[in-house]
Copies of this chain bind each other. A is one copy, B any other.
């Protein structure tokens, strides 16, 4: 594999409230210097994703400093929460090799043609929990999984319509009609590649964590600009929104124990043994007590979007599968998200009850047809981890974007500064921006992606 397919730079966190140096962990996390791959001139093989990816804690640079990325079209600013900052990020150019087919069917079907490329851009945010290990692995791995998945279908992506057979050989004359009737378009192959890449990355993380005796998981929010479209893939509670002059549009939705209640309850209904008799599948407004026994109380089961009343039995007094409200809602009393990567070994404290069966690694993918938008220079996508959205609404972020960008047209770092300002505004540094002066103590990472330059850059293959 040649270098240059992916130019990436690790983006260390900038601690905004109070930097704390990383301290040694009981299961040590090996540290390697991030490798900066700027050009496409390095020799073949050097840019391959390492078979054993780097796993490193995030360093703490000077207090309050923004760390603008040289490309200028995407900026990430990292606050910090924990001993090891659990947010990680990756971004860069995504170069997908075009493949050709050998003359003979028996031959290796994939022949590398490094001079042909489909070029895109990639941004990713990973919000770790239980330590930074999974987030770091994801930041080091997911893009290479995605590249591999995209290269496996790139022939279909660049065709007018994805062919029934990837080889282009037609077996049934009406194959194009079948594909047409199913409405299968090139973008469906990118969606499929993103879905498969998340799953592949999750498997890699599972193997790596097990091999290194580490634990942890992370959410993943990825944006890919490709062939005039922006794909946003989300597994977790980060969020991406489109902000234009007259429009604010969510590009992702959150996956938490609350939003995925029915799926999670359904699984516990089908496999009650996953709860080991310790939890109740049913949802009640609060945890029940002995005094509730025999009373008719509000409840919901897996098949219900509405509520009903049931007579409380002894088994209803168990701890609920999903408990708490809003930001406090937890799956099995442990986890605040229901999709993401990692967590293969995660168990309920002092039990053998696993969380992984209830988690999905597959993302929800939304597609923004950038080429169809009449782009203005200040149209941006804001991607951020949950810490930002806990404190600022979509509309508040949009207001900040709209008030900041027009006055700073000449500033080459304005997107970086906007990202920094968004984080400041969640930390009580800009009064009156958040409702009731709310402050976030969570890790926060923000990308501000100007679509105007994307529209110009994404020239397709």
Contacts and interface: CB of A to CB of B under 8 A. Distances in A.
Which of A165, A181, A270, A285 gathers the greatest number of chain B CB atoms within 10 Å? A285
Given A152-B309, A286-B172, A297 B164 contact: yes
A162 interface: yes
Interface string A362-378: 10110000000000000
Contacts of A184: 285, 298, 307
Nearest to A324: B181
Nearest to A156: B309
A159 to B, nearest CB: 12
Give the dominant DSSP class at A's interface.
mixed
Interface in A159-174: 162, 164-167, 169, 171-172, 174
Interface string A290-325: 011011111010011111110000000000000001
A256 interface: no
A194 interface: yes
Contact of A303 (B109, B195, B326): B195
A83 interface: no
A172 B288 CA distance: 10
B306 A193 contact: yes
A105 B169 CA distance: 75
A109 B182 CA distance: 55
B308 A165 contact: no
A188 B307 contact: yes
A305 B153 CA distance: 16
A1 interface: no
A162 B307 contact: yes
A175 interface: yes
A191 B307 CA distance: 7
Contacts of A300: 192
A152 B298 CA distance: 12
Contacts of A105: 294
Given A179-B298, A291-B171, A189 B307 contact: yes
A85 interface: no
A196 interface: yes
Interface string A96-132: 0000000001000100000000000000000000000
Contacts of A362: 303-304
Contacts of A289: 171-172
Contacts of A295: 165-167, 169, 171
Nearest to A198: B303
A199 interface: yes
Given A156-B298, A166-B296, A179-B285, 9 more contacts: A153-B309, A156-B309, A165-B295, A171-B292, A178-B325, A181-B285, A193-B306, A193-B308, A306-B365
Interface of A: 105, 109, 149, 152-153, 156, 162, 164-167, 169, 171-172, 174-175, 178-179, 181-182, 184, 187-196, 199, 270, 285-286, 289, 291-292, 294-298, 300, 303-309, 325-326, 360, 362, 364-365
10 contacts: A165-B296, A166-B296, A166-B309, A171-B295, A178-B285, A179-B285, A182-B325, A191-B307, A193-B306, A303-B360
